[in-house]
A and B are shown apart, each in its own frame.
Chain A
Amino acid sequence: MRRKAGLILLALAVFFATLSPLLRWYAFPRLAKIPANQYQDMVLEAKDATLLDYGTMRSKKVPEVTVVQTLKGNVEASEKIERTASRDVVVWDGLSYVQGPDGRMVSEIPERYIFDAHSQEPVHATGESVDGAPVRRDGIEFKWPFLTEKRDYEYFDAQARTTSPIHYKGTQEFRGVTVYYFEQTVPWTKVPFPKAMPVQGITPESVAKTGTTRWYTVHRFWVEPGTGAPVCGEEIHKEELRGGTLLGGRDKVTAFVGHVKMREDYIEHTVNLVESQRVLVLLMTSYLPWSFLILGALLLSLSLYLEARGRRPGDAAPAQLTEPEPVSA
């Protein structure tokens, strides 16, 4: 009976000891993925911003500019790409809708972001675009990979349509969560006018005829708790119109200047959401693998102990139940 228990314990010890690395190095990378049907929205605000009045072509101070950002997983498009890409793909159809203080649209830029569901690496397929124009992302956007590392990443900027490094600047505490702090600066870059302009009758083509160009720079901060889902983001965003006849002889006009921050209720919501996801990630990458390993070692010790007790000389007697036959000459 003791030997049987020892064998069962040995089987369990091997089971848990095997499960530990398998969970961390085999199951987690395959199970942790962004759902193809994810839907999320985010509201960012720029208080006391500067905005261009396209009616007068003069910049003015406004109390608030709001950015509504929606990301919607397109399951049908991702399944179509998966057939040829032979990996799990997520297709996000996004919209950055910018609204002025009067509730009117300032700009709206749709985009399609295609990426690997596990690693968040961009996947290049037909449809990858910003504002209807094809682009090629060579870095992440919106989301970091699971188990974010303390290093620089390549980050895609949808306005400039360029990829450049976003630098790891250190580890901080944010609302009770340990986060990694990243910073990126996109230098002044000439960017296309949005296809949807705030004034009816003005189109990117009609502006282009005047010779006026649009320039943009941003200094971006992200804080990320190691799960891949940023809990806070801020941008110091500047846009200018330069040259051409549209400016009435002026060299440049500020189109927008604002310190864009996530709205407080969205920060709270994201922190709560990310904290629960963080526990899940830690469960699969740390808590369970270590627990299983320790449990495996304990069970193995117990199994060896039982085996050793079963083999003690005093316990060997029951094995000689049958007495030897007397030998007769």
Chain B
Amino acid sequence: MRALIAAATGLAVALALVLTVTALGSPTGSTSPKPLLTTVPAHP
């Protein structure tokens, strides 16, 4: 019974971790103020 509880705990923690990280995602940020280029940049 204790082995079953230990396995279930491992499973639940892994699921919770992955679901939390994917739900958080990444911030979208804001549009870059840099213009669309009409001159040749000297370097990348």
- In the complex, are the beta carbons of B36 and A265 less than 8 A apart? no
Q: Which of B11, B28, B43 has the most CB atoms of chain A within a 10 A radius of its CB?
A: B28
- In the complex, are the beta carbons of A68 and B39 less than 8 A apart? yes
The reply on A33 being an interface residue by CB < 8 A is yes
- In the complex, are the beta carbons of B18 and A23 less than 8 A apart? yes
Number of interface residues of B (CB under 8 A): 32
- In the complex, are the beta carbons of B26 and A33 less than 8 A apart? yes
Which of chain A's residues has its CB closest to B39's CB? A68
Contacts A18-B14, A22-B14, A35-B28; is A43 near B40 (CB within 8 Å)? yes
- In the complex, are the beta carbons of A10 and B10 less than 8 A apart? yes
Q: Which of A3, A72, A78, A108 has the most CB atoms of chain B within a 10 A radius of its CB?
A: A72
- In the complex, are the beta carbons of B34 and A266 less than 8 A apart? no
- In the complex, are the beta carbons of B30 and A37 less than 8 A apart? yes
- In the complex, are the beta carbons of A73 and B37 less than 8 A apart? no
Contacts A8-B6, A265-B43; is A19 near B17 (CB within 8 Å)? yes
**Closest CB in chain A relative to B33 CB, distance in Å:** 9
- In the complex, are the beta carbons of B29 and A75 less than 8 A apart? yes
The contact of A41 among B2, B13, B14, B41, by CB within 8 Å, is: B41
The reply on A186 being an interface residue by CB < 8 A is no
**Closest CB in chain B relative to A213 CB, distance in Å:** 27
Contacts A8-B6, A10-B10, A11-B9; is A37 near B40 (CB within 8 Å)? no
Contacts A11-B6, A18-B11; is A70 near B36 (CB within 8 Å)? yes
- In the bound complex, residues from chain B placing their C-beta under 8 Å from that of A110 are 36
CA distance A307 to B35 in the complex (A): 65
- In the complex, are the beta carbons of B11 and A36 less than 8 A apart? no
- In the complex, are the beta carbons of A31 and B22 less than 8 A apart? yes
Q: Which of A7, A14, A73, A94 has the most CB atoms of chain B within a 10 A radius of its CB?
A: A14
The reply on A93 being an interface residue by CB < 8 A is yes
Which of chain B's residues has its CB closest to A31's CB? B22
Q: Which of A19, A66, A99, A110 has the most CB atoms of chain B within a 10 A radius of its CB?
A: A19
- In the complex, are the beta carbons of B30 and A75 less than 8 A apart? yes
The contact of A39 among B15, B25, B32, B41, by CB within 8 Å, is: B32
- In the complex, are the beta carbons of A37 and B36 less than 8 A apart? no
Which of chain B's residues has its CB closest to A91's CB? B31
Beyond contacts A35-B26, A43-B40, A72-B32: 4 other A-B pairs, Cβ-Cβ < 8 A, are A10-B3, A27-B22, A68-B37, A72-B36
- 5 CB contacts below 8 A, A to B, read A7-B3, A15-B11, A68-B37, A79-B28, A93-B36
